């Protein structure tokens, strides 16, 4: 929650190339530009400068609550570094994970609109760096600058598309298939064989996919037969193409396509 403003430079223009990293063991001064956030990619320079004046960067330790469901919307927040989970808390008290934000993603879930409150709570997973712009200031600029308004609308469109996909997945895919798609979404594009580290622990992945961790563990075990190995926190995918094909079989039962022929040897089971 501490605000280390002095360590960062917020700009509006293209990222400055002056990189003052000199291996000193104090925090490395780093230039950060609002332009780096996808949300602001197409916003005019002037508006961005105005926003930059109001922006505050904060470094948060693990488990910091950024805002709470039901709070009035104080700031527009984006994640610069680390991960932030968004969750909903039912009256009964149990929490439901809605999404995890990373990279340069914005948490404008509650975007604007007068007197709106936060629909979710936001909490950091691991240490994270975030940037905040006061909501009132943001809303005013959005009303004045059509470009910013359009950018917000576009951002919202993307977010809606993602949510729609998630609803489709929850309604029509079983746990194994959802996991397979999740793995595929993590594979670096263009590589047929790959190895990477899971971005967060399996409990969170389970919550993201809407299953219990035991179920996730079993789903991983099932994928092991299809060329997806797990080494504690690392994932090795033998063949992305093969996994894509297997997705169709994971979905509907069809346990045995039964192509009897001597072709592929691993469906003999």
Partner DNA sequence: CGCCGGGTTGATTTCAGTCAAGCAACGTGG
Partner DNA sequence: CCACGTTGCTTGACTGAAATCAACCCGGCG
Using CB under 7 A, list all residues that contact DNA. Answer: 174-176, 198, 201-203, 210-221, 230, 232-233, 253
Nearer to DNA, 146 or 221 (CB): 221
Nearer to DNA, 33 or 215 (CB): 215
Q: Is 153 in the site for its own copies (CB under 8 A)?
A: yes
Q: In the range 92-111, which residues lie near its own copies by CB under 8 A?
A: 92, 94, 96-98, 109-111
3-state secondary structure string across the chain: CCCCHHHEEEECCCCCCCCCCCCCCCCCCEEEEHHHCHHHCCCCHHHHHHHHHHCEEEEECCCCEEECCCCECCEEEEEEEEEEEEEEECCCCCEEEEEEECCCCECCCCCCCCCCECCCEEEEEEEEEEEEEEHHHHHHHHHHCHHHHHHHHHHHHHHHHHHHHHHHHHHHCCHHHHHHHHHHHHCCCCCCCEEEECCCCHHHHHHHHCCCHHHHHHHHHHHHCCCEEEECCEEEECCHHHHHHHHHHHHCCCCCCCCCCCCCCCCCC
The item of its own copies, DNA, none sharing an interface with residue 147, based on CB under 5 to 8 Å by kind, is its own copies
Nearer to its own copies, 136 or 161 (CB): 161
Among 167, 221, 236, 245, binds its own copies (CB under 8 A): 167
**Which residues are CB-contacts of 59 (< 8 A; sequence separation ≥ 6)?**
2, 3, 4, 7, 127, 128, 129
Among 38, 134, 210, 227, binds its own copies (CB under 8 A): 210
Minimum CB–partner distance for residue 216 and DNA (Å): 6
User: Segment near its own copies (CB under 8 A), from 20-28, 125-133, 139-147, 214-222?
Assistant: 139-147
211 phi and psi, to 5 degrees?
-135, 170
Nearer to its own copies, 158 or 229 (CB): 158
Q: Is 145 in the site for its own copies (CB under 8 A)?
A: yes
Q: In the range 35-74, which residues lie near its own copies by CB under 8 A?
A: none
Nearer to DNA, 232 or 260 (CB): 232
Q: Is 159 in the site for its own copies (CB under 8 A)?
A: yes
Minimum CB–partner distance for residue 110 and its own copies (Å): 7
Q: Is 264 in the site for its own copies (CB under 8 A)?
A: no
The item of its own copies, DNA, none sharing an interface with residue 45, based on CB under 5 to 8 Å by kind, is none
User: Segment near its own copies (CB under 8 A), from 2-10, 124-132, 165-173, 194-202?
Assistant: 165-173
3-state secondary structure string across 103-121: CCCECCCCCCCCCCECCCE
Q: Is 189 in the site for its own copies (CB under 8 A)?
A: no
CA distances from 48 to 13, 33, 45, 62, 159 (A): 8, 10, 5, 30, 22
Binding stretches for its own copies (CB under 8 A): 88, 90, 92, 94, 96-98, 109-113, 116, 119-120, 142-147, 149-150, 152-154, 156-161, 163-164, 166-168, 170-172, 210, 248, 251-252
């Amino acid at each position: 929650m501490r605000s280390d403003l002095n360590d960062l430079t917020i700009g509006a223009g293209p990222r400055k190339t002056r990189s003052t990293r000199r291996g000193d063991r104090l925090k490395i001064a780093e230039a950060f530009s609002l332009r780096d956030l996808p949300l602001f990619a197409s916003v005019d320079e002037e508006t961005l400068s105005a926003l930059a004046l109001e922006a505050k960067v904060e470094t948060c330790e693990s488990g910091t609550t950024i805002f709470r469901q039901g709070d009035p919307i104080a700031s527009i927040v984006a994640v610069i570094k680390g991960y932030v989970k968004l969750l909903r808390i039912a009256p009964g008290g149990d929490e439901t994970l809605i999404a995890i934000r990373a990279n340069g993603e914005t948490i404008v879930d509650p975007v604007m609109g007068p007197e709106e409150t936060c629909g979710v709570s936001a909490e950091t997973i691991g240490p994270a760096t975030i940037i905040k712009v006061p909501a009132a200031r943001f809303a005013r600029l959005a009303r004045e600058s059509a470009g910013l308004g359009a950018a917000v609308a576009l951002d919202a469109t993307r977010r809606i598309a993602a949510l729609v996909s998630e609803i489709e997945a929850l309604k029509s895919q079983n746990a194994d298939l959802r996991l397979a798609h999740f793995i595929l979404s993590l594979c670096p594009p263009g590589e047929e064989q790959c190895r990477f580290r899971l971005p967060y622990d399996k409990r969170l992945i389970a919550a993201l996919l809407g299953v219990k961790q035991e179920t996730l563990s079993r789903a991983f075990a099932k994928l092991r037969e299809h060329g997806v190995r797990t080494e504690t926190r690392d994932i090795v995918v033998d063949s992305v193409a093969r996994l894509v094909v297997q997705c169709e079989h994971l979905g509907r039962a069809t346990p045995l396509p039964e192509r009897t022929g001597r072709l592929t040897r691993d469906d003999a089971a």
